[in-house]
Amino acid sequence: MTGAQIFIECLREQGVDTIFGYPGGAVLPIYDALYDAKDIRHVLTAHEQNATHAADGYARSTGRTGVTLVTSGPGATNTVTGIATAYMDSVPIIVFTGQVATSLIGRDSFQEVDIKGITTPITKHNFIVKDVDELADTIRKAFLIAKSGRPGPVLVDIPKDIQTAQTDYTRNAIKLSDIKPSSAEIREKAGFKESFIEAATLIENSKRPVILAGGGVNISGANEYLIEFAEHIDCPVASTLMGLGNFPAQHGLFLGMAGMHGSRYANYALTRSDLIIAIGTRFSDRVVSDLDKFGSGAKVIHIDIDAAEIGKNVRPHISILGDVGEILKGLKASVSHKEHGKWLAQIDKWKAEHPLKYNRASNLSPQYIIETLSHLTEDRAIITTEVGQNQMWTAQFYKFTKPRTFISSGGLGTMGYGLGAAIGACVGRPDMQVINIAGDGSFKMNLTELATISRYNLPIIQLVLNNHSLGMVRQWQNLFFDERYSYTSFGQEVDFVKLASAFDIEGIKLTQNEEVEDILKYALDRKRPIIIDCDIHPDEMVLPIVPPGQSIDVLID
């Protein structure tokens, strides 16, 4: 077989049914082989960055590895932001890039770039294949690396002559389960038993425990174990941004999101607890803020699969390395049933005194839009977001109850991420309604993907919370820079309803709270792509907010 044919066969080995990509000269042999591969769907995006975001959204929504295929040079460099986004949020994607022929590498050839060198800091691993005999095993390794341990992106650079060269191919479908250690093997690791016993003792003796659950819970599929564990020890649960969906929002033990824009009661609970059980979280600066004051009166148990995260930001008293689900099962079995009535009563008092609130007298409240959307969709939607106020309002006011239903760029904060991710989620989960919530600033960064949505008639609802500004940056200028709005205000230069028409997509203007429910119901019933342009006042803010450098229990609201 040629290298291009081997590429296709290796995708079949790994169960790949979808690729997001954009063709070019350095990948023409692979695209020619794809012409006959009717069992692999290729989704042609409008830009390579969004092909990578789409693979990311596909991976987050399905739990499978997303795949991107692009050409060399600018095609490859256009994927860098998408790769970095996936790297920061531990998302398993494989980015296959074409490369000039091996004889031309290093000669500044047309559309040549050292994409391996460029992406080394933002991939779990990357490869350049210089021998066709190594192609199949390299692809297999890439899939294993992307999914094993803490997931992440892998890049495979394939020169054009490797794609046309021939060699023998032998099927060898190595699966992750073939190399993943069992829970018994994990428990035999040096120091594991001692840490486990010490953690159980701290939990037994705690009077004011709090669980801080991060994205690692969703990634590991340990959501049910988290619920059972929290109920067993009668412990409130706060979530990071990436952890939303890992614990039902309506559950009595749920505190909502913690951190810079977290609920006041979640932040109070973390600040006043005597034990923080951190599960699958990296203690981002947006969660802990002032490191010296974060949980200063609490012991910290840190559970994670990645040893590099232990002590990187917050130094734990006890750490347990391994699969979150296996650890939570073991801890539940090792700790007696607890009741923390006094502690939970105090938290309920904080909830009553400091609920999330907003100005309901506004002509059109972004928070009300999201609340209403949450009520109408319940458990039947996947929500993607852009970055900024739209992202934080969604995190605060949409009631996520299931894992893999909230898809957002957390670590890198990539404006322009949401619509590409929505495409991937819609392709990967056609059984779910997909809605992208954006600000007008972020939306303008990726609106070219409306062409993709129109081409494939993807029934994505695009909400544009249009405040004619870079809302979050403007909010900071308002609060911390004496209202000096330097280059954050837009005019009326884009009519998003007319823009929708240009892409043969329906567009609706939303201006009043009284219209919200009817328009959202209409959009949800349409089962077709639609854009809703929501006219938001630029002074609307995301509150509460922890000022920069302050302890998380010091909030402006």
Closest C-alpha to 332, from 432, 226, 472: 226
Report the C-alpha gap between 544 and 233 in whole angstroms.
29
Closest C-alpha to 255, from 395, 443, 127: 395
Q: Which helix (H) or strand (E) holds 139?
A: helix 135-147
Please identify which of the residues 1, 9, 13, 111 carries the catalytic annotation.
111
**DSSP assignment, residue 554?**
-
Is 111 labeled as catalytic in the residue annotation? yes
Beta-bridge mates of residue 70: 22, 97
Q: Which helix (H) or strand (E) holds 439?
A: strand 433-439
Query: Do residues 303 and 234 lie in contact, with contact meaning Cβ atoms separated by under 8 Å?
Result: no
Query: Do residues 430 and 479 lie in contact, with contact meaning Cβ atoms separated by under 8 Å?
Result: no
- Which of helix, strand or coil describes residue 462? strand
Closest C-alpha to 416, from 394, 388, 440, 446: 446
Structure-token pair, residue 280: 């699958």
Please identify which of the residues 124, 147, 160, 299 carries the catalytic annotation.
160
β-bridge pairing 93-99 and 41-44: unpaired
Angle ∠(87,91,94) on CA atoms, nearest 5:
85
Query: Do residues 40 and 9 lie in contact, with contact meaning Cβ atoms separated by under 8 Å?
Result: no
Is 110 labeled as catalytic in the residue annotation? yes
Closest C-alpha to 278, from 203, 184, 186: 203
Instruction: Calculate the dihedral angle through the C-alpha atoms of 78, 82, 84, 89, rounding to the nearest 10 degrees.
Output: 180
Query: Do residues 1 and 9 lie in contact, with contact meaning Cβ atoms separated by under 8 Å?
Result: yes
Please identify which of the residues 88, 260, 445, 472 carries the catalytic annotation.
472
Q: Which helix (H) or strand (E) holds 473?
A: helix 471-480
Peptide bond into 92 cis (omega under 30): no
Chain-centre distance of CA 282, in angstroms?
14
By CB atoms closer than 10 A (0-12, 13-18, 19+), residue 527 is exposed
Beta-bridge mates of residue 125: 154
Helices 48-62 and 80-88 meet at what angle, rounded to 10?
Answer: 20
CB neighbours of residue 172 within 10 Å: 10
Report the C-alpha gap between 428 and 354 in whole angstroms.
39
Report the C-alpha gap between 123 and 38 in whole angstroms.
30
**Rama region for 259: left / alpha / beta (φ>0; ψ in -120 to 50; rest):** left
Report the C-alpha gap between 422 and 55 in whole angstroms.
10
Is 160 labeled as catalytic in the residue annotation? yes
Please identify which of the residues 7, 14, 20, 48 carries the catalytic annotation.
48
| Positions marked catalytic | 48, 110-111, 160, 472
